[in-house]
Amino acid sequence: MEKGSKVYIAGHRGLVGSAIVRVLKEAGYENLLLRTSAETDLRNQAAVDALFAAEKPDYVFLAAAKVGGIYANDTYPADFIRDNLQIQTNVIDAAYRSRTKRLLFLGSSCIYPKPAPQPMPESCLLTGELEPTNEWYAIAKIAGIKMCQAYQKQYGFDAISAMPTNLYGPNDNFDLEKSHVLPALIRKFHLAKLAMAGDAEGIMEDEVRYGAIPNDVKESLGLNSGLSPKVILWGSGGPYREFLHVDDMADACLFLMNRQVVPNNLFNVGTGTDITIRAVAELVQKIVGFSGEVVWDASKPDGTPRKLMDVSRLHDLGWKARISLEDGIRAAYAHYCDQTETL
């Protein structure tokens, strides 16, 4: 990618998109095309076609998506499959027709089967059943991968796909009904810490900044009962998860965009190591500084037992993650508290 190339980052205000913007600017790319959803609704084909016809971007990072955790995926399945299919179909097709040089499609590790071998290689795609709690999102992302491959096969369009593991970092979603596990842990432990300190004003400020606190969480904090605050977490804590700081993900995206790779390629992006949910919860608890009770609600679903990515293909190209999990969580918590921390 030449430094003067016009680069469109779809979803530039989201977790991944905002990190890609930061990495591009740090690398000297200034000709960035950025549009909010209010300016261009990517679910609207006519709006997307008009954007590409007018701007004709040279390169596209397709990071726009409707995302969420187990609760959101299980509660709003129609929203997840419809919105994501619309977004990626419109952008990929418009990019091809406007002669974009290369498109990088961002997916998710949930595309792989629930009983996939561990670590999960790219070759296990479509070899088994998906995890039921997020299959709607996964099916949409699989369709995006296959659309990239189909456009390469039929039209010679240079479209590649990157599948990140669980991401976290600045601009994460801390809505407790829609967030992924790590931001949810950060917020729950922070709220419990405030409750233990009797900081009702701090809790109110947090609710204004990061969204409504569900009633069950308020109850666990003892806000209305005077009971000692505790943190209630879903499942057994036994499943393993891999976590990647979003700045590492953005760095990998730029790395892939600037490499001569075979079109049609799919790349896993992760650290290659995992940790139990219980262990990461204990790490967050230590970093946040909450000394109260933690309760695991085994009546709630665990999700996939293990989701470790095989990242050997990306390692063979010369890229590896650099931010440790503890350093990354400390930085994420500092950002959550509106502090400044440099990784």
Annotated binding residues for substrate: 188, 234, 241, 302
Q: What is the pLDDT along the chain (343 residues), one digit of tens a residue?
A: 999 999 999 999 999 999 999 999 999 999 999 999 999 999 999 999 999 999 999 999 999 999 877 778 888 999 999 999 999 999 999 999 999 999 999 999 989 998 899 999 999 999 999 988 889 999 999 999 999 999 999 999 999 999 999 999 998 989 988 788 999 999 999 999 999 999 999 999 999 999 999 999 999 998 766 789 999 999 999 999 999 999 999 999 999 999 988 766 899 999 999 999 999 999 999 999 999 999 999 998 887 788 899 999 999 999 999 999 999 999 999 999 985 334 4
Provide the b/e sequence for 186-209 (b: ≥16 CB within 10 Å): bbbbbbbbbbbeeeeeebeebeee
Contact criterion met (CB below 8 Å) for 272 and 319: no
Name the active-site residue from 59, 71, 137, 336. 137
Q: How far apart are CA 78 and CA 170, in angstroms?
A: 28
Q: 264: which DSSP letter? A: T
> Which position has the token pair 């350093």?
327
Q: Is 137 designated active site?
A: yes
Domain 7-171+242-273+306-323 sits in CATH at 3.40.50.720
Counting every residue, how long is the chain? 343
Contact criterion met (CB below 8 Å) for 29 and 3: yes
Residues forming a β-bridge with 8: 33, 60
Amino acid of residue 223: L
Contact criterion met (CB below 8 Å) for 69 and 80: no
What is the per-residue pLDDT for 178?
Answer: 77
Q: 213: which DSSP letter? A: P
pTM of the model: 0.92
Residue 60 is inside which H or E element, if any? strand 59-62
3-state DSSP call for residue 241? Answer: strand
Annotated binding residues: 11-17, 106-109, 141, 164-167, 180, 188, 234, 241, 302
From the number of C-beta atoms within 10 Å of its C-beta (0-12, 13-18, 19+), residue 156 rates as: exposed
Tell me the domain boundaries of the chain.
7-171+242-273+306-323
